[in-house]
Amino acid sequence: MKHALKTGALLGLIAVAGLGTGCSKQSAKQATFHGETTKASVVIAARHLKPDDVIRALQTFVPPGEHDPYLMFASGGQNGQVLVYGIPSMRLLDEIPVFTPDSMAGWGFGGSGNEVLRGGDIPASKLGPAKELNWGDLHHCNLSESNGVYDGQWLFANDKANGRIAVVDLRDFATKQIVKNPIFYNDHGAVFVTPNTTWLIEASQYSAPLGGAYQDITNYEATYRGEITFWRFDRQTGRIDTNQSFAIELPPYWQDLAISGKLVSHDWIFCNSFNVARYHGDDLDGQPSFEAGATSRDTDYLHIIHLSQAVKDFQAGKFERVNGFPVIPLKTEIADHILYFTPETKSPHGVDVSPDGHYIVVSGKLDPHVTVYNFDKIQKAIAAGKFEHDPYGVPVMPMEDTVEARVEVGLGPLHTQFDNKGFAYTTLFLDSAIAKWSLGGSAETLHPGVKSWTLIQKLPVQYNPGHLAVIGGDTTHPTGQYLLSLNKWSIDRFDNVGPLYPENLQLVDISGKEMRLLSDTPLGMGETHYAQIIAADKVHPWQAYPEVGWNPLTQSVDTNAAMPGQEGIIRNANHVTVNMTIVRSHYTPELVQVNQGDDVTWHITNIERTPNATHGLAISAYNINLTINPGQAETVHFVADRAGVFSFYCTKFCSALHLEMAGYLIVKPATTQTAQR
Ligand code: K7E
Ligand code: CUA
């Protein structure tokens, strides 16, 4: 690969650059460019670069006009969107709007974006009025997989704040569906896919009565619950089929991350929990806080779920309905051998499955070890049936029967990813470091002298990493090479921009024996919780929509789309239909005259076939802002309730006569009185 320069070649380049060992602080300080910017040694000296800086720069620099070999899809956290970076340059290539309106993409100001966003609202019910949701706390975005590897077709994301999940189509990098969980208000272990993307996993977080109704908190043990929803994804329609989806009821522990097994363990789901103590306050009443009460037990429970067994029960109708949604009750899960527990060290966060599917790695945040469970041992323990039972009757297997190894990695271990050489990488939140450690079997075989289940190296990162991402690092075929440490704090790393600091994404080279830090990338627009990295050539987005009149929601030509030659304004009583086409640099028609109170349906089609020839439609005062890509057809609907003269114009600087790409929406007042105002 073009960018995968070998260290030897790099050292050669350094020698050419005349760096040698003579880069003393003194000379660096005095040096200026003197116009000699084509001489590497002069630039290196003037910029005070150390030898390792130069290597790092050479490893991450992508020359102008060239492309990055990898794409990272990263959650945008509180901004509710997905961010797309080029790796190794760390150039931000795109922001895919998901849960939050976005002006650049014209998302949420009329048109198809509104339709998708409103699909995720909370409907009115006997509990209260409808709630419109206009932001999300996006934690995990997950690429679709075929046979356990990313296939580059779809991307899924969750909203922790409101218990929603979204489907993004990677043909046009646009969100197609947002589904509100009908039985829970929040989630966290989401969205994680099964190896063929048949099911999308969404685990709830903070226990509450299923269905969202009121229950007195003193009835916590009896009436509060957790759950995991299994959403059926239909590749044909590109949508979650809510009618083929179901949930399983769980005890009121606070379920955390959930993940699918793979290969040997492919039919099983693993989910962490904390607050198995079922602590529920109340601090104003003199009780301990949640942080003390929820961590009062030494262990919490790793949930082990037999998915196909749950699917069987769902298909056999062995469920109850909550808000109309099928939920398999706990007692059925126990009777039908769907759910098992095994203890995990308290307050765990990450749960990750090794590439071969054999090992499940769990990190208890308050334990300096990662705990590695062996899938075969879990199966044997299930068969042996030596169970204790939790207060709800769920079988609990002894930890000593399910654990393969415990590796001491450092303080505050969170999340783990894997490479293709038998190593695992775990973020250490409290140590502000990444631990590299060896898996059993594979590392020992591949690297003579390396012992199984051993800490190999700790690399300091800056600071407090959450998740980490290795190329393909959660699939059956990781690539290795690069690792991203997604850090929560940045403290002193960047120029001061006031009290709200950026996050820090750090790129790490893991291709050699030792991990090496390559670059820092501040992110001042959200908290990246999770990311996945895929080879860029595995994603095949369109450069423009395939045909003119393309509806991005149906991914086909829309029979209602405005087409060239058929432009015009049609009135039917007080219903007005505008059929408008756009091409550089005009709207047809340019004058839209309606009466106050008219119900306006405005179809607009970008008839361009040139890639990148995107236009906008911004209508003053009406809060309408569309982005219309080549071929795309959009429809916006509004009531012309405010009289006056409103301009509309193209928001994308599309041509020399872009400023002339404008028109008027003229709304004739219903009464003369209004006209005078
Ligand atoms: Cu650790 Cu939501 Cu996966 Cu944040 S989560 S880091
Ligand atoms: Cu179209 Cu500017």
Task: Provide residues with CB under 6 Å of ligand 1.
Answer: 139-140, 188, 257, 349, 414-415, 466-467, 529-530
Residue range(s) of every CATH 2.60.40.420 domain in the chain: 550-676
Average pLDDT over residues 589-612: 98
Pairwise CA distance, residues 386 & 397, whole Å = 7
Mean pLDDT of the 618-635 span: 98
- pLDDT tens per residue, range 224-278: 999 999 999 999 999 999 999 999 999 999 999 999 999 999 999 999 999 999 9
pLDDT in tens, 517-557: 999 999 999 999 999 999 999 999 999 999 999 999 999 99
pLDDT over 60 at 23, yes or no: no
| Token representation of residue 585 | 């640099």
> What's the pLDDT score for residue 33?
60
585 CA distance to ligand 2 middle (Å): 6
Q: Rounded CA gap, 19 and 357, in Å?
A: 47
What's the whole-number mean pLDDT along residues 644-651? 98
Q: pLDDT class for 661, splitting at 50, 70, 90?
A: very high
The structure tokens 């991203």 sit at: 484
State the residue for tokens 């999770």.
530
Q: SS3 sequence, 654-668? A: CCCCHHHCEEEEEEE
pLDDT at 445: 79
| Backbone φ and ψ of 600, nearest 5° | -105, 125
Mean predicted confidence (pLDDT) in 79-83: 98
Nearest CA, atom 4, ligand 1: 529
Pocket mutation for ligand 1, best pick of 271, 349, 432, 484 (most atoms within 8 Å of C-beta): 349
Band (pLDDT 50/70/90 cuts) for residue 35 is low
**Which part of the chain is CATH 2.130.10.10?**
70-100+135-538
Whether the per-residue pLDDT at 3 is higher than 70: the answer is: no
Report the distance separating Cα 631 and Cα 558, nearest Å. 11
Nearest listed ligand to the Cα of residue 604? 2
In the reported structure, the alpha carbon of residue 119 is separated from the centroid of ligand 2 by a whole-number distance in angstroms of 30
Maximum Cα–Cα distance across the chain:
91
Decide if pLDDT at 30 tops 90. no
Buried b (16+ CB within 10 A) or exposed e, 331-342: ebbbebebbbbb
Q: Exposed (0-12), middle (13-18) or buried (19+): which is 124, by Cβ within 10 Å?
A: exposed
Q: What is the residue whose two structure tokens read 């028109």?
A: 663
> Own/partner pairs for 242-246, CB < 8 Å, 24+ apart?
242/179, 245/325, 245/326, 246/310, 246/314, 246/319, 246/325, 246/326, 246/327, 246/328
Q: What token pair was written down for 184?
A: 């829970």
CB of 654 sitting under 6 A from ligand 2: yes
- Cβ atoms 521, 549 nearer than 8 A: no
Distance between CA 350 and CA 11 in Å, rounded? 38
658 lines ligand 2 (CB under 6 A): yes
Ligand 2 contacts CB of residue 661 (under 6 A): yes
State whether the beta carbon of 650 lies less than 6 angstroms from ligand 2.
Answer: yes
Cα–Cα distance for residue pair 465/427, rounded to 1 Å: 6
CA of 607, nearest ligand number: 2
Say how far apart CA 626 and CA 616 lie, in whole Å.
5
Count of C-beta atoms within a 10 Å radius of residue 58? 15
Could you give the CA distance from residue 415 to residue 530 in angstroms, rounded to a whole number? 10
* Nearest-atom index, ligand 2, CA of 614: 1
Cα–ligand 2 centroid distance for 66 (angstroms): 27
Ligand 2 atom, smallest distance to 655 CA: 2
Closest CA to 628 of 28, 106, 22, 187: 106
Nearest CA to ligand 2 atom 1: 615
The model's pTM is 0.94
In what helix (H) or strand (E) does residue 616 lie, and over which residues does it extend? strand 615-619
| Contacts of 586 by beta carbon, 8 Å cutoff, 6+ apart | 660, 661
**Topology (CATH level 3) of domain 550-676:** Immunoglobulin-like (2.60.40)
Tell me if the domain spanning 70-100+135-538 has CATH number 1.10.1740.10: no
What's the pLDDT tens digit per position in 361-411? Answer: 999 889 999 999 999 999 999 999 999 999 999 999 999 999 999 999 999
Other CB atoms within 10 Å distance of the CB of residue 455: 16
User: Considering the chain, what percentage of its residues have pLDDT values greater than 70?
Assistant: 94
Which of 266, 415, 402, 430 minimizes the C-alpha distance to 344? 402
Distance 389 CA to ligand 1 centre (A): 30
Instruction: Give the ligand 2 atom nearest the CA of 582.
Output: 1
**Could you tell me if the CB of 652 is within 6 A of ligand 2?**
yes
